[in-house]
């Protein structure tokens, strides 16, 4: 982040990052595949922590409350290093490629929460027009939780990482709960898994001259199609 601030993101090379950190270039690539990945090193672990919250949820808990608790893992990640989080936020506003990477990360959380909510809705509960549209309801509710979280997070980052972000987040979630307080929650049907089955393999084909950002986008698209596909009977 210091190099990006002084030299600019585009002008900073991996070699310079490695040298400043006091490690060899090959050591850098043992941990990160690119500069972009070095800026977002913690989303994979945070996604797993959020999934663990969903998997360990008490049977009596409203699934919307569970999702709100799950996304708090993201806020904890940012709040653990306010200075770095603010610098990273400023950088993503300036570099389109990083903004795209951030949007892709947000989409992963939304898919996780959508699948979880979909597994907890009552198929026998009709909608306002008598029709049942569980996928729409799950996606809208999950998006509302993520949007509320991101709204509070952006305010906190714009304020330099200062303020009672946890209290602001709880107030935002209260708004979401009022809007979705009558979700048709089920009892008795085992929920669908929050993520892909353990050991599942995804194969993606791309050109050998494709850039890393392009490859990452293709993988994200493939994962999105996989998670949107109907669950096997």
The pLDDT of residue 27 is: 93
Tokens of 131: 């029709």
Least confident of 76-80, 138-142, 188-192, 198-202: 188-192
Between 176 and 202, residue with greater pLDDT:
176
Give yes or no for a contact between 71 and 54, defined as CB atoms under 8 angstroms apart. Answer: no
pLDDT band at 51 (very low <50, low <70, confident <90, very high): very high
**pLDDT more than 90, % of the chain:** 42
pLDDT, average across residues 45-70: 92
- 228 within some domain: no
User: Number of folded domains in the chain?
Assistant: 2
Higher local confidence (pLDDT), 231 or 185: 185
Q: Is a pLDDT exceeding 70 seen at residue 97?
A: yes
Question: Domain for residue 183, yes or no?
Answer: yes
140 and 162 inside one domain: yes
N-to-C CA span, the chain: 48
Please say if the pLDDT value at position 54 is more than 70. Answer: yes
206 occurs within a structural domain = no
179-222: pLDDT as tens digits: 886 666 544 344 444 444 444 566 666 666 666 666 676 676 66
Indicate if 193 and 173 belong to the same structural domain.
yes
Alpha helices in the chain (DSSP H): 2-7, 14-21, 25-31, 35-39, 43-55, 63-79, 82-94, 96-118, 134-158, 165-179, 212-228
The domain in which residue 2 lies consists of: 1-31
* Same domain flag for 75 and 175: yes
In a domain, 214, yes or no: no
Residue 191 sits in a domain whose CATH number is: 1.10.357.10
Split at pLDDT 50, 70, 90, the class of 225 is low
Q: Are residues 27 and 107 located together in one domain of the fold?
A: no
- How many degrees, rounded to 5, is the angle at CA 159 between CA 44 and CA 156? 40
Q: Are residues 23 and 96 in the same domain?
A: no
Q: What are the two backbone dihedrals, phi and then psi, of residue 121, each rounded to the nearest 5 degrees?
A: -95, 150
| 124 and 46 fall within a common domain | yes
What is the average per-residue pLDDT within 164-193? 74
Q: Is the per-residue pLDDT at 232 higher than 50?
A: no
Query: So what's the pLDDT on residue 14?
Result: 93
Q: Is residue 132 part of a domain?
A: yes
Same domain for 116 and 85: yes
Would you state the pLDDT for residue 59?
83
Residue 8 shares a structural domain with residue 59: no
Mean pLDDT of the chain: 81
State how far the alpha carbon of 193 is from the alpha carbons of 6, 115, 219, 224, in Å: 45, 7, 21, 15
56 and 20, same structural domain? Answer: no
- Residue 61 maps to a domain: yes
Alpha-carbon dihedral of residues 95, 98, 102, 108, nearest 10 degrees?
150
pLDDT of residue 170: 95
State whether 3 and 73 are in the same domain: no
Mind giving me the DSSP string for 13-70? -HHHHHHHHT--HHHHHHH-SSHHHHHS-SHHHHHHHHHHHHHT--TTS-HHHHHHHH
In a domain, 190, yes or no: yes
Based on the fold, state whether residues 56 and 7 are members of the same structural domain. Answer: no
- Tell me what the mean pLDDT of segment 12-18 comes to: 93
Same domain, 46 and 76: yes
The answer to whether residue 223 sits within a structural domain is: no
């Amino acid at each position: 982040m210091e190099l990006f601030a002084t030299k600019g993101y585009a002008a900073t090379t991996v070699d310079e990052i490695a040298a400043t950190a006091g490690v060899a270039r090959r050591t850098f690539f043992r941990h990160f595949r690119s500069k972009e990945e070095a800026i977002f090193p913690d989303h994979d672990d945070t996604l797993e922590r959020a999934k663990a919250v969903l998997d360990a949820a008490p049977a009596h808990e409203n699934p919307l409350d569970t999702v709100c608790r799950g996304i708090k893992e993201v806020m904890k990640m940012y709040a653990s290093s306010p200075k770095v989080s603010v610098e990273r936020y400023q950088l993503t506003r300036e570099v389109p490629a990083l903004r795209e990477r951030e949007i892709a990360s947000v989409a992963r959380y939304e898919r996780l929460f959508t699948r979880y909510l979909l597994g907890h809705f009552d198929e026998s509960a009709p909608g306002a027009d008598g029709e049942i549209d569980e996928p729409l309801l799950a996606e809208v509710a999950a998006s509302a939780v993520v949007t509320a979280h991101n709204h509070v997070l952006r305010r906190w980052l714009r304020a330099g990482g200062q303020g009672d972000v946890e209290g602001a987040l709880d107030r935002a979630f209260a708004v979401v709960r009022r809007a979705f307080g009558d979700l048709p929650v089920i009892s008795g049907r085992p929920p669908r898994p929050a993520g892909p089955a353990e050991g599942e393999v995804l194969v993606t084909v791309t050109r050998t001259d494709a850039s890393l950002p392009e490859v990452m986008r293709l993988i994200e698209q493939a994962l999105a199609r996989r998670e949107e596909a109907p669950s096997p009977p």
